[in-house]
Structure formats: C-alpha cells, structure tokens
Structure 1
Amino acid sequence: MVYKNIIFDFGGVLVDWNPRHLYKDHFKDPEEMEWFLKNICTDEWNIEQDRGRPLSEATMGLQREFPGHSDMIALFYGQWEVMLKGDIPETVALLYKLKEKKYPLYGLTNWSAETIDIAYRRFPFFKVFDGIVVSGTEKLIKPDPGIYQLLLDRYHLKAEESIFIDDNIHNVNAAREMGFYAIHFQNPAQLEAALSEVIPA
C-alpha cells in the first residue's frame, strides 16, 4: 500500500500538555496534587470540554460540587496555558521532514475549541498542516468513529491511504478498525522507526 496522507494527534505527540506543569507549583505535597487530579479535575471532566462543553460551565459546575476546592478548580482554565509546557522538538522536526517530502499533513485532536487558538499562536509548526479537525469545535471526540469520518470527508481522504499517529491506544485501535494504518506513539525515535517501515526514506 502506498500511503499518501499522515495524520497527527497533538497532545502527547507534538506538544507537552500536562496539568501537573501548573499544579506542581500550587500543591506542596505531590500526593495531594495527584489526589486532586484523580478526584476533582479528572480526565473524565476535562474530556467533556474537549467534546465541546464551555469552559465556564465546566468550571462553575465543578466549583458547586466541590466548593472547598474552588480556587484550585479556577486555576485549571484560569492558568491553562502553563499546562502547555512546550513542543516535543524531535516530533516537530520529523513533522517538518515529512512536509519537505511533500506529504499532506493533517491534525485530528481532542482539544477544547476555546483553548486551541493558544496553541496555534504559540507553535508555528501548526501552519504546516493542510487541515485540522478539533473535537471541541465538532462536538465529537476520538475514539468516536464519527470524528475520523468527518476528517476523511472534509479533506477528501481515504483511510486506507492514510497513516494515523496517536499516543492513546483506544484512538489508535478505533483508527485501525476504520482502515487507517495507525501507529501508537510512544516516543519520537519509535515513531520515526515505525514510519520508516511503511514510507520511503
């Protein structure tokens, strides 16, 4: 199979986003921070913003539920940009190499529509993409097959001609079921090696 298109997830693949980058400076005890992220500002809560729930609604709802943690909850989106520590240089370098080889590049990300512009402003590599689908804008999130199909339809792509890269195995498995060649990202060197097996050097 000749692969024509390469599709990247963003968080954990091209950018280093982690709530701990923010909260480590606000909790004296790392165990307290981990408890907070596991029980208050959870991944499950955050993913609903990636699905399109307004940040203000999410924040106020959680503050009503946990009034004793109101200030810490407010930090999550009040200082959200601190969580976006930087890019992942080796993966970004690989992205540019693929662009130089004339591969069409696309993004498919679970990300809030209200914060994605912060990333666009901070990281110039986003300009190399030929198209991007953001879950919070579409009100769909991976691994829902609908968001993969939306990407294919919008940019007139075929799954069997496309390589999909994501650090979440559930998203990878969903892509495989739809016919993509999907790579479970673990680190930049592993990704480069995996790509070298299926595309020309």
Structure 2
Amino acid sequence: MSEVILHLTSGQGPEECRWVVAQLATAYAREARAHGVVCEVLEGAEDLPSSLLMRVSGDQAPAFIAGRVGTVLWIGDSPFRPGHNRRNWFVGVALAPELDLVPDLKAEDIDYQTLRASGPGGQHVNKTDSAVRATHRPTGLVATAQEQRSQHANRKLARLKLAMMIEEQRGASRDKARRSQWNLHQQLERGNPVRTYKGVRFTLKSAT
C-alpha cells in the first residue's frame, strides 16, 4: 500500500484562503473515496487552518495525487466580506518530504518530550499524555504534534513537521527559488492552477 503526505496551505492569503484550505481538504477526502483511496487530515483540523497535512493511502494514492499537487483556485464570493470584489482565491498543495530523504534529520539528533494534549484541536485530542514535542538539537527547531490518537503517531507527525522545517531552512540558505514546503506560506504560483473549484458548494470546475 502506498502512502503520501500532502501539505495544503493558504500561503499569506486572507481568511478566505484559509476557508478554501478547509474546503479543499473536504473535497479531496470526498474525491479519494471515489478513487478507492483514503485521504485524511493529520494536522490542522480547525475550521480555518492556515495550513494542514493530509495522508493519502491506498494502492492508487500516487495516481490520485497526480494533478492535485500545485496551485488550486477557488472562484467565488467571499464568505466573510459581502460585496468584496475579489472572486479568485489561491491555495497551494505540495508533497511533504520523505523522512528517509532528509539527510539532516537523524534520529539520534531528535529529543522527544511527551505532554498532555490540549485544545483547540482535532476530534482526537484527549486528556492523556499523547502529545509530543520534538526538538532537533543541531538547529534548535521545535515541532509539536497532538492531533493523533497515539503517542507513536504523534512522534511520527512531529518528526515530519521537523523535516519540513529543515527542508525550508536549507532551501532558504541555498537558493530562494528552490525553497520547499514552508515556503508555500510566503508565495503561491498564480495563473496556472492544477484544479479549479467554484461556488459555495465547492464544485470542481476543471482539472488537468
């Protein structure tokens, strides 16, 4: 079975773009069922997430994400500012890095600390010590995960978030044009969306 992690982000977009991120996650989960794969939110389950992570799993996962990674456009009236004249809202979708392919992320360089999960959070947040804080000693980067049911799953998620931060840090120092995951918070490519949705029902208009 294949498994892919997607990173959906509103970039530096306004509240409308965060709304689109949430709607897109729902749309991808719905579309995944029709393709025989599972698409579920790992982190960022709040109503208006600036970004979130989704796991796509199943034999057809690679085929499903083809054409769904890149810039996504939603065409519609702002659900928060009646009369606002902007109707095109962009969000970004990227592949999260594969942990084994991030050379700077060594298991022996990470310290894990367990802590009690606390809200606001996803439906699985509970009162047990299942949340995890991961610290990457060489860089001082810290990532926390609490969305998953088990401590083991949260450790894996925290490590993934560290990988994304490290990739971004390395990309920023190497070449601004090649920044990876977290760079999507700073800029999204307009003008060539891989998918376009429209209206309050978030209906797919076209796909490539």
**The TM-score by the shorter chain falls in which range?**
under 0.3
Q: Which has the higher helix share?
A: 1
Structure number with the bigger relative contact order (C-alpha 8 A, sep ≥ 6) is: 1
TM normalised by structure 2 equals 0.23
Q: Which has the higher strand share?
A: 2
TM normalised by structure 1 equals 0.24
